[in-house]
Structure 1
Amino acid sequence: MLEKEKKILAKRIAGEIVLSPDPGKTMRKWREIFGISQSELAEYLGVSSSVISDYEGGRRKSPGASTIRKFVEALLEIDEKRGGNVIRAFSRTLGGDIPTSAILDIREFNIPVTVKDIVNAVKGEIVANPDLIDRKIYGYTIVDSIQAILEMSAEEFLKLYGWTTERALVFTKVTTGRSPMIAIRVQGLKPAMVVLHGVKRLDELAIKIAEKERVPLVVSKAESESELIMGLRKLVGAF
């Protein structure tokens, strides 16, 4: 099942761990993306949970090639036994074209950041669900809201999530915020947070939907789209 996608995803995970300045945190990020507990992974690998914890906490030296290979294989095999949801989500990003005019930037974080980090990066104000300020974010997608509404089908909209919904969806050229939040409500898949840029008057319905869906809603005060994009890229370390 999805052998090509598995191989590509395996190389991506392994490459991120090898190149990461903190391999343990990157391993933890991927384990959490797959929704696998430390104990479940440890049992599958035939080691104690403390071994996994030590790697993720940086208390063991950086894992070697053999350890990384076993780690990646375990994630993929466990996901396959569960139905392959993460692998399938990743495969959706490989097939079909997303309208380039709608997507301004899409990236994944090597190490997870928090809602608070995103708020600071976009010069934002959190207007719904401030209690979720420490929620982990694994990536972001910046969308031209006007082009997305005009051009994107329901299937293409789902591709905004990349390989995980635990990301920030950032909408630019927003007037009230109502349309992006209704689109999220209708699609059924919830991002980890939503950022609105260009808001002139925030619609109360947008806030109510965010509160109902338990999605942190942030209004960015960045002066331009360029400033918004550069702020987020600094979190990735890409310019």
Structure 2
Amino acid sequence: MDSAAKALADKISGEVVFAENPGKTLKKWRLIFEVSQKELAAKLNVSPSVISDYEGDRRKSPGIAFVRKIIEALLDIDRERGYRTVSKYRDLIDGFQIDVILDMKEYDEPVISSKFRDIIDGEDVTNYEKLVNGHTIVDSLKAIVSLNSYDFYRLYGFTTERALIFTKVSTGRSPMVAVRVANLKPAVVVLHSLKASQVDKIAAKIADIEKIHLIATEMPVEDMVKALRRYVR
């Protein structure tokens, strides 16, 4: 196992061990690796119902030894696929930092995007109910000026099922054009410092085309970070 895979294994293990609902955290990571319950069960030589019961919290939380076996199985499957998942996050795992990122967090459990909207006191511009597994708050001016396509890709953290929150937005068109041309699409885009009625029509149209839940909010950034860290684990 290379250093990036080992670091990712340690991260997953820590999340699961300290999670309030370990089964849901295991499920989150299985989905990130795009591994089915049947495939994971076959690798572990157990019944798929065992995986289902753990993920649904119908069985007592697995011990650390079995958690490590699950993680090793996910990484082994990923290795057989050419480290398709690990390679996406190698830079983040190795400590990638960039000053356009104001806050970044992965969630132990997914949050419905309508609840996410309420936490940040937002307004719907488009309304496509999605699951949110994390957020990245971005200084949009710095992002648009300084990021190349690969840097933009790295804003997604450990999952594309996340909210990208763009601050210092005037109309919302530029961030949404950047999202439009990117290969990966976030579940939710938040345009900060705007009312829903002020969002550019082209920006809203792009969100409709990409089926992205687009939200506008005027909540101060510091308050937004505090709210998200208070209500989302």
Which category describes the TM-score, using the shorter chain as reference length?
A: over 0.9
| Cα distance in 2, alignment partners of residues 198 and 170 from structure 1 | 11
Unaligned runs of 5+ in 2: none
The answer as to 2:174 corresponding to 1:179 is yes
The match for 2:109 is: 111
Q: Which residue of 2 aligns with 1:9?
A: 8
* Counterpart-to-counterpart distance in 2, 1:38 and 1:117: 28
Matches of 2:81 and 2:202 in 1, distance apart? 37
Amino acid at match of 2:26: M
Q: Distance in 1 between matches of 2:115 and 2:176?
A: 22
- Aligned residue runs from structure 1 range 75-224, under 5 A: 75-95=74-94, 97-100=96-99, 102-128=100-126, 130=127, 132-133=128-129, 135-199=130-194, 201-222=198-219, 224=220
Task: Check 1:198–1:22 CA distance in 2 against 1; reply closer, same or farther (3 A cut).
Answer: same
Amino acid at match of 1:117: K
Query: How far, CA to CA, are the matches of 1:65 and 1:39 in structure 2?
Result: 21
Question: Secondary structure at 2:10's aligned position in 1?
Answer: helix
TM-score, normalised relative to structure 1: 0.91
In structure 1, which of residues 217, 231, 236 is the aligned counterpart of residue 232 of structure 2?
236
- The Cα shift of 1:67 comes to 0.8
Q: Deviations over 1:45-79 (max 9, x none)?
A: 11111111111111111111221111001111112
Alignment deviations for residues 90-121 of structure 1 (CA, whole Å, 9 cap, x no partner): 10314575432x21101111122121221111
- How many residue pairs match? The answer is 231
What residue is the counterpart of 1:226 in the other structure?
Answer: 222
Query: Structure 1, residues 112-160: CA drift from partner, whole Å, max 9, x if none?
Result: 21212211111112222x2x32x22111100111121222232222211
Instruction: Supply the AA of the counterpart residue of 2:108.
Output: N
Give the residue type in structure 2 aligned to 1:11: D
Contact 2:134-2:163 at 8 Å conserved across structures:
yes
Moved over 6 A (4+): none
1:41 aligns with 2:37: no
- Secondary structure of 1:110's match? strand
- Tell me the percent identity: 47
CA contact (8 A) 1:98 1:156 kept: no
Closer/same/farther in 2, CA of residues 98 and 60 from structure 1, 3 Å limit = same
SS at match of 2:58: coil
Q: TM-score, normalised by structure 2?
A: 0.93
Q: For residue 85 of structure 1, give the secondary structure of its aligned residue in structure 2.
A: coil
**What is the aligned-residue RMSD (CA, Å)?**
1.6
Gaps of 5+ in 1: none
In the alignment, the residues of structure 1 paired with residue 86 and residue 115 of structure 2 have an alpha-carbon distance, to the nearest angstrom, of 28
Q: Distance in 2 between matches of 1:96 and 1:72?
A: 21
